[in-house]
Chain A
Amino acid sequence: MKITICIGSSCHLKGSRMIVEDLQKLVKENNLSDKIELAGQFCMGNCQNGVCVTIDGEAFSLTPADTRDFFEKDVLPRL
């Protein structure tokens, strides 16, 4: 599974760094490094709804506070 987080200006200002750091931590804690690949992309063309995140191309809209929730409800079941 590939999770791509937008690292462009707009999402950066909305906290994409926190999301990246939390996801890295969650992947590590759950020993999923070989199953989940994290990646960055400068802009996903949907700045208004940032922070933009995709799971294998499927789009999600996150705030830093949602990360754990997103991981449990959207990431884990798709594995």
Chain B
Amino acid sequence: MQLFDTYVQKLKYKVLREVARHAYQDTLQDCYLDIPKLISPGPKSELRCCIYKERAIVAERVKMAMGGDKTNPNIVEVIDIACDECPVSGYRVGPDCRGCIAHRCASVCPRNAISFDENHHAHIDPDKCINCGKCASVCPYSAIQNHVRPCERACKVKAISQGENHVAQIDEGKCINCGACVYQCPFGALQDKSFLLDAIKMIRESDHNKNYRVYAVVAPSISSQFVHVKVGQVITALKELGFFTVIEAALGADMVAYKESRELAEKGFLTSSCCPAFVSYIEKSFPSLKQHISHNYSPMAELGRYIKKTDPTAKVIFIGPCTAKKAEAQRENVKPHVDCVLTFEELQAWIDSRDLDLKSLEVGVLDNASYFGRIFARSGGLSDSVVQAIKEQKLDLIVNPVICDGIEECRVALLKKQKNLLKENFIEGMACTGGCIGGAGCLTHGPKDKSEVDKYGHEAYEKTIGDALALCRVTEENEA
């Protein structure tokens, strides 16, 4: 049974699991020595040049699992010694060059960077090349390729560059904590810091929910995760871990859909505020468009706020696919509503640290939201829900959304808006391709994820947003 897509994820998981075990045994001070030896027993190194380096890197991962660099507010950090400093050369002619006589590559090159040897084979002069890629696009043999570091290729907001000694470095002024580099770096040199220890502490100090109650808020993308068991078994596992109860974040999405549609009717143009990486992208790279960001909370924060209204001493832990949510939870206006954020990867590690066998657990129930709240997990779902919310509330408004699937599409729409060329009146921005189901904190990124979300949506007890919200109105008469 394969739990993860890559060994990098598995390694991170093993570290998290062992850190959690130590936390429960109150032996965290021994972590740095014990865990690297347990994970890399030696004597020979299996992953790096020598066993000492391998263990040193595991020790760095232990540090990340324990919260990382507390002085650095960025969620994603570089583990310097894990970076392979992969050589980069930009566009290069590979062995597939046939030495043809057409020389299209040279004809399109705007800088005359391409020359030919005695066999007609093309060569690119790196001093002249500007990496425009035109040569690669016209080569009939696809012999020219762009060699870019996987982290830089993954980072569509261009926050990653080479620092000293060729080690990757993050420009925190640009980083939106989407986690794309975390998932793509083949050496696991970029990692999101974990707040798993905070979550464990919160649960233990609640003394079986007697001192205060700890609520798990679970993202709807869970429908495409934990594929070897039923979602209900994961819900039971959460209760076994000590959560008082589990609530769908999708209920917060239902609340947001109603509010966001009203805000749209009022303002005439909006960019969505559900995806924290998209919001951060606007703030950092398109500050002139900040005024258009919806003033609504994200579903996570909206639901956290509501839970604390029903139970003022509640602690709320969000569990989802997202690394950027960890950054969102640090925002001053979100802090009071959400106490901790974990990813599905971290949840799996936590469950396994307690030796809970998901397969043998009872199937619990989780049903708070409507179909529409649940489909927020995939690209296009938010727009569908806003359309539905307008219909249900009989608002006088036609929503014409531009659905941006991934940060590159977000960039195009934002550029158009900046130049007043955008026809649409609503930008649905999701930083991850596919929407939240493509999030960096997912266990697996399977191809059938989207249909799983829709299927899960249709299983919801409530069919309209209004009905899902009717239940909440008991506490919040005038809202939602």
- A residues whose Cβ falls under 8 Å from a Cβ of B: 5, 7-10, 12-13, 16-17, 20-21, 23-24, 38-43
Contacts and interface: CB of A to CB of B under 8 A. Distances in A.
A17 B471 contact: yes
B247 interface: yes
A10 B239 CA distance: 14
Contacts of B367: 9, 12-13
B471 A9 contact: no
A12 B474 contact: no
A16 B471 contact: yes
15 contacts: A7-B472, A7-B474, A7-B475, A8-B245, A8-B368, A9-B366, A9-B368, A12-B368, A16-B471, A17-B470, A38-B475, A39-B474, A40-B310, A42-B307, A43-B244
A40 B245 contact: no
Interface of B: 215, 244-248, 307, 310-311, 365-368, 461-462, 467, 470-475
A59 to B, nearest CB: 17
B365 A10 contact: yes
6 closest cross-chain pairs (CB), A and B? A43-B245, A40-B474, A40-B475, A20-B474, A17-B471, A9-B365
Contacts of B473: 20, 24
B65 to A, nearest CB: 30
B470 A20 contact: yes
Nearest to B468: A17
Contact of B310 (A10, A21, A39): A39
- Secondary structure class of chain B's binding surface, majority of residues: mixed
A43 B248 CA distance: 13
B384 to A, nearest CB: 22
A41 B309 CA distance: 9
A38 B470 CA distance: 13
B480 to A, nearest CB: 12
A35 to B, nearest CB: 15
Contacts of B475: 7, 38-40
B244 A12 contact: no
Nearest to B461: A13
A20 B472 CA distance: 9
Contacts of A13: 365, 367, 461
Nearest to B367: A9
Contact of B246 (A7, A9, A21): A9
Nearest to A17: B471
B138 to A, nearest CB: 58
B467 A17 contact: yes
A24 B474 CA distance: 8
Contacts of A42: 215, 245, 247, 307, 310-311
A55 to B, nearest CB: 14
Nearest to B246: A9
A20 B471 contact: yes
Contacts of B248: 9
A41 B365 contact: no
Contacts of B366: 9
A4 to B, nearest CB: 9
A38 B368 CA distance: 19
Nearest to B244: A43
A24 B472 CA distance: 12
Nearest to B364: A9
A38 B467 CA distance: 18
B22 to A, nearest CB: 31
Contacts of B246: 9
A20 B475 CA distance: 10
B245 A7 contact: no
Given A9-B245, A23-B474, 13 more contacts: A5-B474, A7-B310, A9-B246, A9-B365, A9-B366, A10-B365, A13-B365, A17-B462, A20-B474, A40-B474, A40-B475, A42-B215, A43-B244
Contacts of B365: 9-10, 13
Contacts of B247: 8-9, 42
